[in-house]
Structure 1
Amino acid sequence: MSINIPKLPTIRDLDIREKKVLVRIDINSPIDPETGEILDDRRISVHGKYIKEMMKDYNPALVLISHQGRPGEGDFTSLEKHAELLSKYTGVTVKFVDDIIGPKAREEIRNLKPSEILLLENLRLLSEEIIEASPEKQALTMLVKKLSSNVDVYVNDAFATAHRSQPSIVGFPLSLPSCIGPVFEKEIQAITRILNSFESPRIYVLGGSKVRELLRVIENLMRNKLADRILATGLLAHLFLVAKGIDIGVENMKVLEEKGLLPLIPRARYILMRGAPIETPIDFKAKINGEVRNVYVGEIRGVIKDIGNNTVKIYGDLLKDAKVIVMRGPAGVIEEEEFRTGTLNLLESVYKSNAFTLIAGGHLGSMVDENRLNNRIHVSTGGNALLLFLSGEELPALKAMELSSKMFLGW
């Protein structure tokens, strides 16, 4: 069974040549809270590449908007350094203004000419951008009203925020002729290929910290018969091992308890009883008395930090024959050097495979070797948005774009 994805307008459906174009991008990046330095600029480089192409093909006057972090958190900061990196990756000087909807920002937008790029300050400095509401309500916000009157077209190129119903995502499409941008389009193309593929085997490698979301993804994959095998890693694997009645040790049970995951055991058990094709590790890497050891299921001691050598081989052999692969989340605690091996080995299997592969962003994306990528492997910029889409939820950004295409394009 396939999942229907709505037809979405792209920049080829709108006339943006030499127009003033407002582009919502997502350059939200990991920040060192001590120094304020950007630790991983992958999202910025991806957007830079496509902005460069947009400038070459259409010569618009681009007004870029994005967010960074959340108020009160260590990564909530200005976008000034992001502008410098965007200048580097686009080859065009990206002018930065420390304003969003005030007189200064609006004057800069009015004076912007074709071939020029302007980046406004962090959207989340505006309290409106923190609130989620319907597209109709968000179209009435100050952010949307003040900026809409100064631009011709809105482009949403922030797939990673597609699960948010905030003004910059769902408000502008009801106020301006709108479309998705090239980064967003690439994401939709990759997801469409994954969800509508009838090639087999289709293998999902699922791990990372978002266990509740992953259970929803698994339930949707089963409902729509989209996965032939699901290879569990990380906390998700621990949960399914417990659901199978396997002893993972007191320390690891405590980890599940601290993360509030014990109530999910009955749900995981029900998923297994319904015949979900879930594989769990047969061994793990754990630190015991300061020493890294390979421990087998049934005799686990210490806190599990990574999948073990034999699991890596079994999972790798399965990936070798796959036609479609989706990877989400690292297999181990990659913040610690000695527990990156499982994830790196699984990625190695992906590079060698002939499968079309979708690698979800976030921590896993930071582990990818850019030199090993090819047109078979798509590294997504969206973590939560991708998870929610795979779990069968409607993304607000897509709904807003559908409404816009009816209003302005007559679709």
Structure 2
Amino acid sequence: MARFETIDDLPSDSRVLVRLDLNSPIEDGEPQDNERFTRHAETVRELAEAGHRVVCLAHQGRPGNDDFTTLSGHARILERHVGREVAFVPDTNGSKAIEAIEAVSPGEILLLENVRMSEGELPEADPETKAETELVRTLAPLFDAYVNDAYSAAHRSHASLVGFPLVLPAYAGRVMETEYEANTAIATREFDGQVTMVVGGTKATDVIDVMDALGERVDRFLLGGVAGELFLRAAGYPVGYDLEGMDRFDDQWEQNHETIESLLEEYGDRISLAVDLAHEDEEGARTEVAVEAIDEKTNPYLDVGTETVMTYEPIIRESEAVFLKGALGVFEDERFAVGTVGVLEAMAGSDCFSVVGGGDTARAIDLYDLNEDDFSHVSIAGGAYIRALTGEPLPAVEALERGRARSEE
């Protein structure tokens, strides 16, 4: 059971400040529609249909980055998903924002400007410090309650995430609620059968952290991606090296090779490594090579091979629970989606408890026409997903928990 209150506990006819995470890819100056809009729209729609006055806060990019921009386009996308008007004001906590907030009627929705344009939102600091920022001190008196639905940003200690729960009754939205319950299941639920963790992606530290935290909870680790190649290097295969123009492997190896080698020794046959890898040949076609046949790395490897997928599939199908973090290859290129899609299809075809997460990995489900309903949960979180798996604290979740504790005093 979640340790915070949810919108089921929200008093009727409330003016609510709702923190969303609508951070999206920006192309030609416009935000791109994605699963985050779909998920958050459910919370926003439910609040509006219940007659609450709904005012939303969200961020886009960081100051100084190319994707740091207004949320006016986000309002239009959110409006399509919610199915009712979403007004937008190009202000966060100035006079225009205050006027627009006070004018919101029951059932209406307002999106404020990019919260990272407001002084005090960044950088990270403790909740007490963030509760004293001008952003929180200005907006909090205008609301009856605060709802945090931005689970994918919950690993940040920014004002809009940790400051408001100290000064307003605080609740979790539907995304926050479902993400928290699913992503902590590996640590909190008891499974009678085998628990399998499929780990890929580009960061060796993610794999290391997951193994360190979950070694007693996970029976099998199936590896792929850049991280999997580094583990192959530790096992003695001539892969996991940078070729000219690459910078993915050697630095990570220098920093982590002793830990990787010790994990291979500690977990032994509980770790499954790729038995073949795929690269692009001179004609641009996918070519697979057995790991045992590699004498020297001469090509960038962009996916695990078909034989590896065939090795991983029965392990997944025999598991009671499977958690996926990170892609096994460059799935955005159809030629190198075999590993990621093969594992996803095995999870979808099993009756196991299945959670997919880790940054963009969930995009493969839509990209390759898989059915999200075939998985127990598909996470839209990246950093927060890893923290939840490894048991690290999530400041925004802790802030909600503190809010519940205060309400029970």
Q: Distance in 1 between matches of 2:82 and 2:65?
A: 29
Task: Please report how far the alpha carbon of residue 361 of structure 1 lies from its aligned counterpart in structure 2 after TM superposition.
Answer: 4.5
1:343 is matched with: 340
Is contact 1:213-1:388 (8 Å) kept? no
Matches for 1:101-116 after TM superposition, within 5 Å: 101-116=93-108
Q: Distance in 1 between matches of 2:98 and 2:74?
A: 20
| Counterpart pick for 2:92 among 100, 106, 114 | 100
Task: Please report how far the alpha carbon of residue 121 of structure 1 lies from its aligned counterpart in structure 2 after TM superposition.
Answer: 0.6
**CA pair 12-6 structure 1, distance change in 2 beyond 3 A:** closer
1:227 is matched with: 218
Is contact 2:230-2:240 (8 Å) kept? no
Q: Deviations over 1:353-375 (max 9, x none)?
A: 11111111522111114661226
Correspondence 1:333 to 2:330: yes
Correspondence 1:136 to 2:128: yes
2:400 is matched with: 401
SS in 2 for 1:405: helix
335-344 vs 165-174, which deviates more?
335-344
Task: Please report how far the alpha carbon of residue 233 of structure 1 lies from its aligned counterpart in structure 2 after TM superposition.
Answer: 0.6
1:14 is matched with: 10
Is contact 2:140-2:164 (8 Å) kept? yes
2:261 is matched with: 269
Is contact 1:361-1:379 (8 Å) kept? no
**CA pair 257-211 structure 1, distance change in 2 beyond 3 A:** closer
169-178 vs 43-52, which deviates more?
43-52
SS in 1 for 2:301: strand
| Counterpart pick for 1:315 among 312, 315, 337 | 312
**CA pair 250-180 structure 1, distance change in 2 beyond 3 A:** closer
Q: Distance in 1 between matches of 2:240 and 2:85?
A: 56
Q: Deviations over 1:252-282 (max 9, x none)?
A: 6965445544321111111122226211100
2:232 is matched with: 241
Correspondence 1:118 to 2:97: no
Question: Match of 2:237, as an amino acid?
Answer: I
Task: Please report how far the alpha carbon of residue 380 of structure 1 lies from its aligned counterpart in structure 2 after TM superposition.
Answer: 0.7
| Counterpart pick for 1:294 among 280, 283, 288 | 288
Question: Match of 2:361, as an amino acid?
Answer: L
Matches for 1:193-204 after TM superposition, within 5 Å: 193-195=185-187, 196-204=189-197
Is contact 1:23-1:156 (8 Å) kept? yes
Task: Please report how far the alpha carbon of residue 159 of structure 1 lies from its aligned counterpart in structure 2 after TM superposition.
Answer: 0.5
Q: Distance in 2 between matches of 1:192 and 1:274?
A: 24
Task: Please report how far the alpha carbon of residue 182 of structure 1 lies from its aligned counterpart in structure 2 after TM superposition.
Answer: 1.0
1:215 is matched with: 208
**TM-score for both structures, normalised by structure 2:** 0.93
Is contact 2:2-2:177 (8 Å) kept? no
Task: Please report how far the alpha carbon of residue 377 of structure 1 lies from its aligned counterpart in structure 2 after TM superposition.
Answer: 2.4
Task: Please report how far the alpha carbon of residue 101 of structure 1 lies from its aligned counterpart in structure 2 after TM superposition.
Answer: 0.6
| Counterpart pick for 1:30 among 25, 44, 47 | 25
2:149 is matched with: 157
Task: Please report how far the alpha carbon of residue 59 of structure 1 lies from its aligned counterpart in structure 2 after TM superposition.
Answer: 1.1
Is contact 1:252-1:304 (8 Å) kept? no
2:64 is matched with: 72
Task: Please report how far the alpha carbon of residue 395 of structure 1 lies from its aligned counterpart in structure 2 after TM superposition.
Answer: 1.0
Task: Please report how far the alpha carbon of residue 192 of structure 1 lies from its aligned counterpart in structure 2 after TM superposition.
Answer: 3.9
Question: Match of 1:263, as an amino acid?
Answer: Q
73-82 vs 362-371, which deviates more?
362-371
Q: Distance in 2 between matches of 1:372 and 1:47?
A: 19
**CA pair 76-372 structure 1, distance change in 2 beyond 3 A:** same
Q: Distance in 1 between matches of 2:308 and 2:370?
A: 26
Task: Please report how far the alpha carbon of residue 105 of structure 1 lies from its aligned counterpart in structure 2 after TM superposition.
Answer: 0.2
Is contact 1:40-1:366 (8 Å) kept? no
Q: Distance in 2 between matches of 1:361 and 1:240?
A: 19
Q: Distance in 2 between matches of 1:192 and 1:330?
A: 20
Q: Distance in 1 between matches of 2:352 and 2:337?
A: 23
1:379 is matched with: 378
SS in 2 for 1:118: strand
Q: Deviations over 1:286-338 (max 9, x none)?
A: 12334431011133341110000100111112111121111111111123331
**TM-score for both structures, normalised by structure 1:** 0.92
Listed as ranges, the gaps of 5+ residues in structure 2 are none
198-207 vs 291-300, which deviates more?
291-300
SS in 2 for 1:155: strand
SS in 2 for 1:74: coil
SS in 2 for 1:128: coil
